[in-house]
Amino acid sequence: MLVKSQPELCYTCHPSQKHLFDMASHHRVNEGILQCTDCHDPHGSDQPKHVRASAGHDAVCFKCHGDKQGPFVYEHEPVKVETCTSCHVPHGGPNMHMLKVDTVNTLCLSCHTASLVSHAPGIPNFDNEAAFRYQACTTCHNRIHGSNSNSFFFK
């Protein structure tokens, strides 16, 4: 009984969101794989932006991205404390992983600075951006959401 189908009905009140789903990396709402109501409650909720909460009141993102939720022995704090939107834009963006910024290093360095991170002798400094292999923190730290085997998220 809706006047229009999703997402066109949603775009009538939220036109600024439409261009995000046209970005290079986006959730596939325009393609019909996801619907706005998969993540948002159109009739309201106690969550910001009417985002649906899962049964455990975790981010709705874990409904599809459960491998990022854990539980992990070694957790990256933003995953549990600040929600996924501390690093990611939920609708779409120019970055392959829908990050808030252009490069992985820029995002990591917004919280992790040389004064906060120290490496053991013989281990290259994480911010040695002169060497190509250190251009992305995730070259080495590949389990950035959390790990069960390594406190620095290497496995």
Beta-carbon-side half-sphere exposure of residue 18 (alpha carbons within 13 Å): 11
Q: Does residue 2 fall inside a structural domain?
A: no
* pLDDT at residue 35 greater than cutoff 70: yes
In a domain, 70, yes or no: yes
Distance CA 108, CA 78 (A): 11
Give residue 96's domain range.
Answer: 8-147
The verdict on residue 40 lying in a domain is yes
Structural domain includes residue 154: no
- pTM value is 0.78
| pLDDT tops 90 at residue 37 | yes
Residue 152 within any structural domain of the chain: no
Task: For residue 1, tell me if it sits in a domain.
Answer: no
Q: How far is CA 74 from CA 16, 53, 93, 100, 143, in A?
A: 38, 24, 29, 24, 10
pLDDT (tens digit per residue) in 81-111: 878 888 999 999 888 889 998 888 888 888 8
Residue 155 belongs to a domain? no
